[in-house]
Chains A and B, each alone.
Chain A
Amino acid sequence: MSQSKQGEPLDPHEDDRPRMRAVVGSDRIEEEIFGRVFDGKVTQRIWQFVRPYRRNVIISVASVVTFTLSQLTIPLLIRYAIDTGMAPDAPSSILLGIVALFGVIIGINYIASRVQELVTGKMAEDVLFDMRRAMFSHLQRVSLSFMDKTEVGRLMSRLQGDVNSMQEFLETSVLAIGDLLLLFGIVAVMLWLDWQLALMVLTVIPILFGVRILWLSRARAAFMAAHEANSITNGALAEAIHGVRAVQAMDRARLNGELYGQLVDNTYKAQLRASKLSQIMIPIVDTLTGSAMAVVALAGGLMVVSGRIEVGVMVAFLFYIQRFFDPIRSLTMQYSVMQRAMASGHRLTEVLDVEVDVRDAEDATPLGDDDDGSVEFRNVTFGYNPEHPVLKDVSFRVKSGETVALVGPTGSGKSSSMALIHRFYDVQEGAVLVGGRDVRDVTQKSLGRHIAMVLQEPYLFTGTVRENIRYATDWADDAAVVEAAIAVGAHDFIEALPQGYDTMLAERGSNLSLGQRQLLSFARALVTDAKILIMDEATANIDSYTEMQIQKALQRLLEGRTGLVIAHRLATIRNADRILVLQQGQIIEQGDHDSLIDHGGLYAQLYQLNYASFDDIPEALTDKDRSLAT
């Protein structure tokens, strides 16, 4: 280290901080787990989802109250059974009567607990699924720029983890009502049975609460530490599994094993600590219940002796004491659940509140078969951030049936133009017209049917080959699917797959080559039989053999429809009817290949360099033309 410091003044980092380069597992960014206990805005939002189940809420609260009351009654019945039913001179009918009443109460208890658990459990699940659906459906409509800047993993944890803690929250809320009632009920009944003995015994309740709350913050820290250590270790394991080839190729297995061993040791220690803390509460509670029982045995006993209370009361007290701690434990646990739920609810609200920028106009009408496949940009200005437009006053018109290639350096606005045709975003100035109609005046669904789109990266879904080609084109029958596959030249390799068209595609088609996936995505576009085809040509270098198949398929795909292609390959560009050259959000040249060559501008220069891909434009060239264009 010191050696490198001497001779290397321009070291990428000159500070003396020692760096741990040898690490396994990733640097994780944990999300906040606990929020405020109560957040009005979040609660309001949750209530929207619970509202449809109002009736169930009432039923479950009513049944939890009934259930709790019946539980409270049982020790009381035992008391009466002892004091009146078992009195030396009591007729046996009294005991029978009390036991019969006991039978009625446990019947009620049974029904109430069943109703409560069923109704609450199902309702909480329903709300969970409703929330997830609402959020998922919302994500289908929010602007693409939001989706682009949000990691899928993050959204997934909203759709899974966060909605789950909401479900937990609903369930425990109902239970909390029961627990509170039980706690107050026990206190009330005890006071009613004998207020002096009750006061003596009840002193343990505030102590229990106090101890529990003191304990809770420590225990929670320990649990969180254990949880975090555990997930870091699991993360390292996942990394080892996914990156196993890289690890072996670079011979890091042994070192990683040692590093992982350290993580495992940390987890072990954190878990032991958490385990210690979670168990420490047991002797404390037992000590407190033990002293309460001792008080009843002694003071209660003396009261019985003095005739102040009957022995049944003493027995009832002993029963109640054993039930003390349950509601206190659940209530303090529910406190954590509440905090967690509020943090989750807050994150859910954030997603649900993302604005939907692009909506159908109220008087939107569908684009129909009568509308042609023309595309027109009229003085379009657009930017993801309106202050930095990526397209500036762009106008062009593509006739129905014409093929146009868009060419230009990265960031010139090619992809944005394509996105505007499909109305992924709305323009800030000017208008985009499809089939002669402003895209803002037609329904998005019909626009989607009018336009087929092939993206740069072929994206396949889990499912069969057939399902992938048909995708959302539900009006295409099996024959149409096969026809499309034949047309793009995918039929032969599909037939060669183990189950032909019914072969399941593993993890997004990883069992197919890139070229094959591309052909499937062509077939998927072809089967929609849309009037306009928008395509973003793949940039990656694929082998020349596949390249040729793709070129052929592309020609077939463009037959008889309007084509707008973001082109990178010379072959594609030369086959277009017209070429638009974009730079810095403006069209700087247009025309067919020959006229552009004659023109001697950027296109001609690019062509003469004979690069296979137009993205390989040397910086010097673009710099020069940047000054020309502006």
Chain B
Amino acid sequence: MKKTAQSGQTASSDRKFRRTASVDREAGLGAIARITRMAFAYPVRAGLALLATVAAVLMQLSIPVILGRAVDQTQAVAAAKAAPETLYPIALLLFLASVARGLFTLVQNYTAESVGHALARDIRNAVYGKIQSLPFSFHDRTHSGDLITVGMLDLEGVRMYFSTALVRTVLLGLLIGLGATLLLSTDVTLGLLALSFVPFAGWRSTVMRLALRRTWLILQERLGVLSQVMEENLAGIRVVRAFASSDFEMDKFDVASKSALELSHQRIETRVKNTSAMTLAFFISMGLVLYVGGRQVTSGEITLGTLATFLTFMTILQMPVRQLGMMVNGYARASTCGARLFALIDHETEIDTAPGAPDLKITKGTLKLDHVSFAYDGDTDRPAVSDISFEAHKGETVGIVGPPGSGKTTLMHLIPRFYDPTQGSISIDGQDIREVTLSSVRRAVAVVQQDSFLFTTSIENNIAYANPFTETREIRGVAESAQLHDYILGLPGKYGTIVGERGVSLSGGQRQRLSIARTLMMKPAVLIFDDSTAAIDAGTENRIRTALKDYAKDCVTLIVAHRLASLMHADRILFLEDGKIIEQGSHEDLLKLGGRYHALHALQMRPNTEIAAESLAGKVDQP
């Protein structure tokens, strides 16, 4: 029964990738095993780390023994039972053991960390590659913040695994194991007393770390809410001022802030309670060793040196035992972080080049859609696009218009294979786009998106994004065609001006023009404008259209627009409604037809609410 529950979980996690999704035990253990394997793919470093750990522990353990020896020998010399020269080799040994301990620890830590860094390097590349190849549908249902936390925070969890969990396990195991053997073989009672704090401190430390981790995750969430409150307030400061709602906003802030602060306090309490209890336990053991050992020294059962050995060993053991929780936490983190990372890395790439597929060859430049249907996420009851067929040849322009939600953008996203149609096929020059390389399709079909993402780099780099090794004059050429060149020359850094999230902010129209320029750079066989001139004023749009005539000769142009002026000139216009073509023909044909297109035209040419409301009656209230 348990088995089925788990397989059910994995099946659902295939569909949706969530960082916050819980990680089941099996996946967690699998992740640990896989990280360990990946670490040992660097056998020299990993092996060296483990060997150095062993050596460092041995040196660490030898120091209390030598110290004890030094005390005993000193007493022997004082009692004239030995020559003073016998102190020299002990002092030397002490020095050498200490130096060796330092060197081995250096090797241990450095190699262990370098294994972690190497692992991180491999995983980073894998994650990046995967994210870039996963299709739009994956990114539609995945929150970008989730991917960022997986790629950054979860990566850290995995990176730290080798040094904080695996190597530390060996270190602690040896230190406690060998140390206990040493102490117990010297004196059972005293040994037990000296080690008595170990289980308690180890337990408290583990409990504390896990509790802190739990509250940390909650605290992260609450701080997330707080920062959202602040960020939204600052970004929307005009709304806040407009509604004179700073009191209201301060209340929101206080609620979020207080809940985070309470948890922060709680975390401090948890930490302090446990750490001070561990210290107390350690000191109590020490007091007991001091008393019982002292009695034994007086009675001559053990030497003073032995007591000193016990006491120093305890001080040496204290730190690593207190960090036991970190080790446990290291495993816990690695298992959840690793499971999520691997879930991402192993995610199936639904849209990919078929094995052995050739590149798309453009000959005549004909685009053909054959009974194409598409439904999002397999929602076949409500197809977004249904049964669309049309053909367009090089040099032709096709306009696509229709009410919101009629499937215009969806249809445009099928042509460059952002999504695959659920039925029917799309071909360019007779080659089904699913049977050629994805890369060649993307180069052949270029889309100017509605909302274009600009990269935070120079304008020049943005324009040349698809073709970074192009010549400078090409960049200027497309910028001129997109009516952007003059504007760019007016900027302080000209073509080198940084734009994007952290650069000069461009207006909606300027962004769209930049987006047009960088798409022209691709010299595609199919050029798609997906409502990408909405923010450009009519005059500029006109100039762009004139400039684009040269490009349009060599490709199929598809234009989606709300403003009819943007597509009236098209050779053919398709009117879409509910995913179907309901009217098609030239502008004049469609006006003559007197249908939906005609009504829309009337509305736009005579912006008078009453008249338009009548002619479009019925369509208005549809979302």
Asked if A283 and B106 make an inter-chain contact with CB atoms under 8 angstroms apart, the answer reads yes
- Give 13 A-B contacts (CB < 8 Å), ordered by A residue: A27-B457, A99-B287, A106-B287, A233-B124, A245-B136, A256-B128, A293-B98, A305-B78, A315-B71, A445-B247, A453-B239, A492-B623, A613-B537
Encoded as 1 (CB less than 8 Å from any A CB) or 0, chain B from 70 to 100 comes to 1101110110000010011011101111110
Which A residues lie within 8 Å of B503 (CB)?
A: 27
B253 at the interface (CB under 8 A from A): yes
Could you tell me the distance between the alpha carbons of A11 and B474 in the complex, rounded to whole angstroms? 10
For the complex with contacts A85-B298, A136-B233, 10 further pairs of A-B residues with Cβ separation under 8 Å are A118-B269, A140-B246, A251-B439, A256-B132, A279-B110, A283-B103, A297-B94, A298-B87, A318-B67, A472-B249
Of the residues B139, B291, B488, B501, contact of A95 by C-beta under 8 Å: B291
B308–A318 touching, CB < 8 Å:
yes
Report A-chain residues with C-beta under 8 Å of the C-beta of B456. 26-27, 239
| A199 in contact (CB, < 8 A) | no
> A95-B294, A284-B102, A445-B244 are known contacts. Are A297 and B87 too (CB-CB below 8 A)?
yes
A304 to B47, CA, bound (A): 45
Q: Check if A398 is an interface residue, CB within 8 A of chain B.
A: no
> In the bound complex, do residue A246 and residue B452 qualify as a contact, i.e. CB atoms below 8 Å apart?
yes
Report if A214 contacts B (CB, 8 A).
no
**B526–chain A nearest beta-carbon distance, Å:** 12
A122 within 8 A of B: yes
Q: Are A28 and B502 in contact (CB under 8 A)?
A: yes
How many B residues have CB within 8 A of the partner chain? 168
Q: Name the interface residues of A264-290: CB closer than 8 Å to any CB of B.
A: 264-265, 267-268, 271-272, 275-276, 279-280, 282-287, 289-290
Interface 1/0 per residue, B461-490 and A, CB below 8 Å: 100111011111101100000000000110
Judge if A59 is at the interface, Cβ distance under 8 Å. no
Q: How far is the CA of A246 from the CA of B609 in the complex (A)?
A: 38
Q: Is the CB of A99 within 8 A of B232?
A: no
Q: Which of A86, A260, A515 contacts B128 (CB 8 A)?
A: A260
Can you name the residue of chain B whose Cβ is closest to the Cβ of A144? B241
Q: Does A110 contact B (CB under 8 A)?
A: yes
Q: How far is the CA of A462 from the CA of B260 in the complex (A)?
A: 18
Given A129-B257, A301-B74, A541-B563, A156-B231 contact (CB < 8 Å): yes
CB contact between A153 and one of B449, B455, B494, B502 (< 8 Å): that residue: B502
CB pair B248–A496 under 8 Å, yes or no, is no
Contacts of A243 in B (CB 8 A): 453, 455
Task: Give bound CA distance, A552 to B621, whole Å.
Answer: 12
Provide the main secondary structure of the chain A interface. helix
B382 to chain A, nearest CB (A): 14
Bound CA–CA A99/B290 (angstroms): 7
Residues of A within 8 A of B276 (CB): 110, 113-114, 117
Query: Which chain B residues lie closer than 8 Å to A571 at the CB level?
Result: 607-609
> Which segment of B11-19, B24-32, B114-122, B387-395 sits at the interface?
B114-122
Interface contact A238-B148, CB-CB below 8 Å: yes
Pick from B144, B502, B537: contact of A241, CB under 8 Å: B144
Cβ contacts under 8 Å, B345 to chain A = none
Given A22-B468, A251-B466: A286 and B105 interface contact (C-beta under 8 Å): yes
Tell me if A493 and B623 are in contact (CB < 8 A).
yes
B186, CB-defined interface residue at 8 Å: no
B498 within 8 A of A: yes
* Residue contact A118 to B272, C-beta cutoff 8 Å: yes
Report A129-158 CB contacts with B as 1/0, cut-off 8 Å.
100110011011100100100011101100
* Complex: chain B residue closest to A541, CB-CB: B534
Could you tell me if A271 and B117 are in contact, using CB atoms closer than 8 angstroms?
Answer: yes
| Residues B110 and A237 in contact, CB atoms below 8 Å apart | no
Do A472 and B245 contact each other (CB < 8 Å), given the known contacts A241-B147, A543-B404? yes
Choose among A90, A144, A290 the residue that contacts B238 (Cβ–Cβ < 8 A): A144
Chain A residues with CB under 8 Å of B189's CB are none
Q: Is A544 a contact of B603 with CB atoms below 8 Å?
A: yes
Whether B442 lies near A250 (C-beta < 8 A) is yes
Name A159's contact: one of B95, B103, B147, B230 (CB within 8 Å): B230
Give chain B nearest CB distance to A89 CB in angstroms.
Answer: 9
How far, in Å, is B297 (CB) from chain A's closest CB?
5
For the complex formed, measure the closest distance between the CB of B491 and the CB atoms of chain A, giving whole angstroms. Answer: 11
Contacts of A307 in B (CB 8 A): 78
Q: How far is the CB of A509 from chain B (nearest CB, A)?
A: 11
Q: How far is the CB of B97 from chain A (nearest CB, A)?
A: 7
Task: Decide yes or no: A86 and B91 within 8 Å by CB, A102-B287, A153-B502, A283-B103 being known contacts.
Answer: no
Indicate which residue in B75, B272, B461, B620 contacts A549 across the interface (CB closer than 8 Å). B620
Shortest beta-carbon distance, A474 to chain B, in Å?
A: 7
Is A544 touching B268 in the complex (CB atoms < 8 A)?
no
Annotate A607-621 by CB proximity to B: 1 below 8 A, 0 otherwise: 000011101101000
B534-A133 in contact (CB<8A):
no
B125 touches A152 (CB 8 A): no
Chain A residues with CB below 8 A from B109, complex form: 275, 279, 282
Q: Which residues of A contact B295 (CB under 8 A)?
A: 92, 95
Contact of A615 among B114, B286, B537 (CB under 8 A): B537
How many angstroms between the C-alpha atoms of A252 and B460 in the bound complex?
16
Contacts A272-B117, A543-B403: A318 and B603 contacting too (C-beta < 8 A)? no
- Per-residue B-contact encoding for A446-468, CB less than 8 Å = 1, 0 else: 01110111010001011000000
Q: Contact check: which of A19, A99, A248, A261 meets B291 at CB < 8 Å?
A: A99
> In the complex, how many angstroms separate the beta carbon of A5 from the nearest chain B beta carbon?
9
Return chain B residues, CB-CB under 8 Å to A44: none
The 10 closest A-B pairs by CB, nearest first: A448-B244, A290-B98, A286-B102, A26-B456, A472-B245, A283-B102, A453-B242, A22-B468, A250-B466, A472-B248
CA distance A486 to B332 in the complex (A): 52
Q: Is B127 close to A, CB under 8 A?
A: yes
Give the contact stretch, choosing among B169-177, B584-592, B611-619: B611-619
Nearest CB in chain B to that of A530: its residue: B243
- Is the CB–CB distance between B275 and A264 below 8 Å? no
B239 cross-chain contacts in A, Cβ below 8 A: 453, 455, 459, 471
Q: Are B442 and A249 in contact (CB under 8 A)?
A: yes
Q: B575 in the interface, Cβ–Cβ < 8 Å?
A: no
The answer, yes or no, to whether A378 is at the interface (CB within 8 Å) is no
- Asked whether, in the complex, the Cβ of A453 is within 8 Å of the Cβ of B404, the reply is no
**Interface residues in B402-440 (C-beta closer than 8 Å to A):** 403-404, 416, 418, 439
Contact B147 A125 (CB under 8 A): no
Q: Which residues of A contact B476 (CB under 8 A)?
A: 11-12
> Nearest chain A CB to B459's CB is how many angstroms away?
10
Hey, which chain A residues are within 8 Å of B383, CB to CB?
A: none
A69 to chain B, nearest CB (A): 15
Contact between chains at A152 and B144 (CB < 8 Å): no
- Contact across chains for A612 and B404 when beta carbons are under 8 A apart: no
CB <8 Å contact, B73 and A301: yes
Q: For the complex, what is the distance from the CA of A301 to the CA of B537, rounded to whole Å?
A: 92
A200 at the interface (CB under 8 A from B): no
Whether the Cβ atoms of B124 and A545 lie closer than 8 Å is no
Please tell me if the beta carbons of B268 and A121 are within 8 angstroms of each other in the complex.
Answer: yes
A625 within 8 A of B: no
* Residue B304 CB within 8 A of the other chain: yes
Q: Is A103 an interface residue (CB 8 A)?
A: yes
Query: Known: A301-B73, A453-B242. Contact between A570 and B607, CB under 8 A?
Result: yes
Asked if A257 CB lies within 8 Å of chain B CBs, one says: yes
Q: In the complex, what residues of B have CB within 8 A of residue A354's CB?
A: none
A5 to B243, CA, bound (A): 57
Given contacts A286-B102, A302-B84, contact A121 B272 (CB under 8 A): yes
Write out the residue numbers on chain B whose beta carbons fall within 8 Å of the beta carbon of A301.
Answer: 70, 73-74, 77, 87, 91
In the complex, A160 has a CB within 8 A of chain B: yes
Cα distance, A300 to B308, chains bound together (Å): 15
Contact call B74/A314, Cβ cutoff below 8 A: yes
Of chain A, the residue at the smallest CB distance from B132 is A253
Contact with A along B211-234 (1 / 0, CB 8 A): 000000000000000011011111
> Which chain B residue lies CB-closest to A159?
B230
User: CB of A68 within 8 A of chain B?
Assistant: no
A448 touching B257 in the complex, CB below 8 Å, given contacts A250-B522, A541-B563: no
Q: Does B518 contact A (CB under 8 A)?
A: yes
| A residues near B574, Cβ cutoff 8 Å | none
